[in-house]
Amino acid sequence: MAQKTHLNSDEVARLLMASPVTVCEWVQQGKLHAVVIDGGEHRFERHFDLDDVQQFAQEQGFSLSPPDRGRLRILVVDDDIRAARFLVNLFGTLSETVEAQAVHNAFDAGSQIHTFRPDVVLLDLSPHDGIDICRRIKSDPASRAARVIAMSDQPSVETTQRAMMAGAETCLAKPLNHQRLFDVLGLTMEPHTPVCESHPQTP
């Protein structure tokens, strides 16, 4: 059977181990080319050429094959220990599909990135070295395939642009909207996931 050469948004998301929301953002940012097709009944769909997706993955250092470890590894880098612990506990509700760890400084982040080998790094930008950590992750061949999701309690346009120029795919406002976070990660939130009162969600 011939290899499929045109993909829809969901197929690209699965191939790049991202969420459809993130794929849409890449298209809007001009990073990933898509052709809009009339799907009938006032529906429009994005179609992607496989060669374009493969080139995008190579440029970004993304793997086109899902990890064989069985669980998505997420490293939380946040100097707010309570906020980091809450995120680890939040992901703990998905223990069959997600494994999460947290560190609170640049030194430990560098160490865990090479020993834990995360698929995703949730990186707080509040410390002055947040952008530098992101830049180092994406410039190191051993870690550049990891997705970097930046977080900031002051997510200005300038902050978001700096984070994305350093290699982050998006920047989420803190306190985090948990549904938005799960959408970006391509995860399904458990229906009774507890919410920590000290870290309320954004509306």
All structural domains of the chain with their residue ranges: 6-60, 72-185
Tokens 């190191």 found at: 140
Sheet holding 170-173, edge to edge: 98-103, 72-77, 120-124, 147-152, 170-173
CATH topology of domain 6-60: Multidrug-efflux Transporter Regulator; Chain: A; Domain 2 (1.10.1660)
pLDDT tens for each residue of 46-101:
888 888 888 888 887 776 655 445 688 999 999 999 999 999 999 988 878 899 99
> What integer pLDDT is reported at residue 74 of this predicted model?
95
- The helix or strand, by DSSP H or E, that contains position 75, with its residue range, turns out to be strand 72-77
Task: Look at residue 42 and tell me whether its pLDDT is greater than 60.
Answer: no
Average pLDDT over residues 109-137: 88
Considering the four listed CATH numbers 3.30.1490.20, 3.40.50.300, 3.40.50.2300, 3.40.1160.10, the one that applies to the domain covering 72-185 is 3.40.50.2300
Alpha helices by DSSP H, the chain: 9-16, 20-28, 50-60, 81-92, 106-115, 130-139, 157-165, 178-185
CA distance 138 to 171: 16
pTM of the model: 0.66
* Statement: residue 41 has pLDDT above 60: no
Rounded Cα distance, 94 and 90, in Å: 8
Q: How confident is the model at residue 44 (pLDDT cuts 50, 70, 90)?
A: low
Mean pLDDT across 138-161: 88
In the predicted model, what is the mean pLDDT of residues 128-139? 88
Confidence check: pLDDT of 2 > 90 = no
